[in-house]
Structure 1
Amino acid sequence: MNHPVPMKVLLLLAFCIIFSADGALAKPPEAGTKPSRRWVTPSVSSQTDRDRMGRTQRVALLIGNAEYRFAPLANPLNDVRLLAETLKSCGFEVQLLENQSRKGMIEALKAFEENLAGKDAGLFYFSGHGLQIRGENYLVPVDADASTESQISYECFEARRVIDAMQAARARVNIIILDACRNNPIVRSSRSISGGLAKMEAGDQMIIAYSTSPGDVAQDGSQGGNSPYLANLVKQLLVPGQEIESMFRNVRRGVLRDTGNMQKPWEHTSLVDSFCFVTGSAPSRRLPEEPVPTVPATEKTAMQEPAGPMSALQQAAERGDAVAQERLGEQYEKGKGVERNPAKAFEWYRKAADQGQAIAQSRLGDCYRNGVGVAQDFLKAVEWYEKASQQGDGDAQVGLGGMYFYGDGVKQNFTVAAELYRRAALGGHPYAQMNIGLMYERGDGVPRNIAKAIEWYRKAADRELPAAWGKLGVLYGDGIGVPRDPAKAKELFERAAAKGDAGALENLGAMYETGSGVPRDFQRAFDLFRQAADKGAVHALAKLGVLYANGTGVNKDLAKAAQLFQQAANQGDADGQVNLGQMYERGDGVPQDWFKAYTLYQQSAAQGNVGGRIKLGVCYADGRGVPKNTAKAFDLFRGAAAEGNPMGQVNLGMMYELGDGIPQNYAKAIELYQQAANKGVVSACYRLGVMYANGTGVRRDFRKAAELFRTAADQGFADAQMNLGMMYERGDGFPQNIFIAADWYRKAAEQGHPEALKRLQGLNLPAMRR
């Protein structure tokens, strides 16, 4: 008899994501060259920084008002929830309030003031409507019903109250963040009522940050997402070692970029003490998209150490010798022969630079760019790099190229960056040769040309640059521009790793992890990943987390895996964010928390990570951690599928098959399932088998269905095992055989499949074949 496969079984797999490893090499953490494929596996969450910092020294009050009667807002609640989770990971005790009345806001501020007294740091954040009357700022409660100046003063919340409360509490550091300048129809009711917020003077040890300039209106962001300001803020909060002023500058840069210079955040500060949201090593200027960084000062030509304060070098410097002044500045910067003193280094560099000494001008550019011995100032950095570059200084040309590459202090311009790198590269500068190679490989500022990229990488490698050996190793490992040669890749990685190159250590570890060109050796992979992580390779932390989570190469330790994933996620590693999200999604080692999972997936997806985008799509498709939004899910799955990602193809296929938020289209579903099945994805084989078994969108074909189910079942797919059991029990497509059916039911039941266990018991066989 012919029986359709039950739809109940079909739905068991809806929006299930399965990631599998393959043998491709990971690319080194440079120039945004990400691994061509990632190994994303189930994991558990980690202990957060909150546990290490203590719960009582940092407190925050967050208020998000969205449900206004006169002008509802889309994203304040998303904003405060995301910020709350981020601040908790930074050690803050957070009070989160939503849709507050004026009375509720006043009572919350009183409690906040009491809790803040004597603490290390306090933070107040408001997201919602805000306005000003004659220079006085008001935050609008959701119950405000005001259209005149007098009504507003009674029904809205005076922003000055926050300053007064925090000053009274006398915390060491006070932070006020107002994302409260949305477009507000109240302002049109009176000439004296103005949109945006007015400048407020910060109290002692306080910084006030505004999402946009005085009097301007901030953007709320797309429906269901976050405001541009908040999205950039949470990203920068988690950068280890980043001073708060630098953090807000980077937030401003990101908002300007994301809004096309339409929204410019600003701050007013009286802070004297330093403050970092996440402690640790200060971040380098090495961003995910960055080419090889400019030559750090520590790698420039070493000079003779002075014998003492009155050495000949210092005496020459004091006489006005520019070369001696530059060299003495270097000694103070490095602490060679004298106590390290960045301020004195800057002072001596400036004396030499003022005399036109090119190396000193270049070093002065480094100081301004990195905030060494002087406040960070990109405009000044550009000014000094340009002076040295005009004299042909290669370091300055590389530094200035980096400024144009990032758009730091100048308008971003890849073409100018490439030209500056080219000039220095022609002069034999190895970092410039590496950078221009990366530009050619990616087509940034120059036409994409792999052959030219390889040519420049080889020039840099000939000058003994370890990163260039590692980059060539990636190309040989993946067969890009050269014949695939794992042995050559291994040789190049080992050569670079011997010089301590973190990317090469990680890639060599990836070869041993996957058995690509070498015998598979998880212990060796673990050792290499650990070395890479110790040298600052952030993604190696996520790699180590995978090994701990799976117990490969090391004893299984979910707590340790959690810690490593958290460390990687905090430093912006997209895979670390995805893995930590999956821990919260499944409740593996932590209480299940879909909102935390959603937040992490959103952070990963914002970096373009395909795993994060797919998992974010699942959240939207199922309404997990965020309101259900099938349109967003469809867009995310479609984007991943268009890139050839099989999981994107499977999930998009399911949306077409089920007609979930889009018109049902069986032919499109079958096409997508087949594409993923051709890549060996077992869930796609199963879904395609269901279509053939039920005759959905295709002529019913039990033999084809059985073939597809068997492919998935042989790889341990429980639903496929259960369906094969049903087909043998019923005789669908081949002779009925309840003993074979029992075997397949048992396999599925051993994996916890409840319906398979019920059917196995229903066979009521006295002695089943094993």
Structure 2
Amino acid sequence: MLLAMPLAAQGEADVFDMAPVDGRRVALVIGNSNYNQGSSWAALDNAADDARYMADTLSDPARGDAQFETVLLTDATLEQTLAALRRFAETAENADIALVYYAGHGFQHGGENYIAPVDAPGRISDDAIAQHYVSMTEMIAAAYTRGLTIFVLDACRTPGAVVTVRRDGSAITPPPFGAVDAPDAVILYATASGNGAYDAAPPGAPLSPFATAMARAVSQPGLDIPYVFNAVHQTVRLATEIFEPDQPAQRPVFTGSYSRRFFFIPPDMEDFVPTETAAVEVAEAGSAPVVQRGASDAEILGITDRELATIDENNLVGRIFARHTMPSLRALADGGNPVAMSMLGYLLSYDQPPAEGDFSGERLAEAQRWLERGAATGHPAPQLEYGHFLIVHGTEENRPQAIELVERSADQGFAKAQSYLYSAIQRGLVPGRTAPESIGLLREASERGHGWASYALLFESEPFEPHLARLQALAEAGDVEGHSWLCRASERAYIAARGIVIDNAFDHCLAAANGNYTDAQAITAARYAEGRGVAANAERAHFWARLAEGAHYLDPVFRPRVEAILAED
């Protein structure tokens, strides 16, 4: 729940066009592993195998109408790649969804991103790069379609290694693959700028963790595209954070305008099972995790009770689907798990416009059934979610019931509900309860680990040290919410005027940006551009600005600075 937004507008930031994009699906999948001898590019054990795996997954006949007509290239030369792009352009022009997947080496030079064919030379003059490498501009043009274009880019498995010899004789190593300018497209990067992606994790694995996660996520029935990418992010993070601190965890990042919903596997294919040859590991990865006896309803879904009470639903979804599938979530809900009911209600309603009391639409009707059933169990999560549902989609007549549900949830010490109730009281939506009284709710939510509550208390006229300390403790524990709110606090003039100093502000912003927090991406871009708390770096400023600018929702406060950075190209 977007607690910082007016209650009447909550949910509207994520409203999509109602009809999902669908129709003819085409894909170009490229994986380059074996670079020619004499090239500066190291061999990649798994890139070609990753591409084969993804091609098999997308073209699986079991997908029915959701199958992609797929062209696969492995260890492709420049000539082969360009020829494939020309053919794909003709195909994509008459398609509704086009997907381009690339695994291999890539780099950025002169504001353009390039992928490296296997016959790329080891040394090259500055003005000849475009003659030996494939620019992303060419790939973007080839993937133009009348509907939705998706790019999945895994081009950062090692730092840039191609040597460019400038005309004056000096040699440089170009920076890694950067942000791609592809308007009206959705882009998933295997990792953020400046970070490496694992070719295998653990070493010797037959596929990269990114390809494994991607194939699993695109085989999830009824999972909309932002949540597909969120699940990829969480799955890869979980698979690679075990190598910290020796090596950093890999965190995929994504951007794009989700103006229409898109399902790799539509909701009406809930019984979809990949064919054995196409996605054996996808099916295995999608099995429910082993759950300890006595686990709570939240723990059965793969999240902790604290996470359930303090993290917004849009971020919980990725964590849950890193371990579960939509069918397994429904099975848990059918079996009486109230947290599963709450999450189903959220997934069915988050993208729907305010209904003004008309719950007759198929998705809203099902959402209401699950939320009403979940709230009746007395669990605080569906109580809060159902209260929010009635506020967004109901009328004034539904308001008393909605507030009562939120109060019941808050009375159980559910931190998000306490913060939500604080917001409602502040806006005069709760008769008989006053603004000073609501501060107590916010303090309790802060004490229970709700990052937004601690952040909001920094603006209140009381000692700020306990609330700042709680945010710092969250960040130190690896909670991205803590990093996100500390990052935002570092940019607020009122907080600075109170004498509040956010130590290591850039580090907090970068951690939240890597966690796909859009506002943190915008702030990180500005800090790189201005050299605030970090050495100025135009390429990384551009990368993060491009991600923030292309996101579905960016706080208008940050948009002018993001646009200014992009205009400096």
TM-score class normalised by the smaller sequence = 0.3 to 0.5
Report the TM-score, using the length of structure 2 for normalisation. Answer: 0.48
Q: Which has a greater percent of helix?
A: 1
Bigger radius of gyration: 1
What TM-score do the two structures reach when normalised by structure 1?
0.37
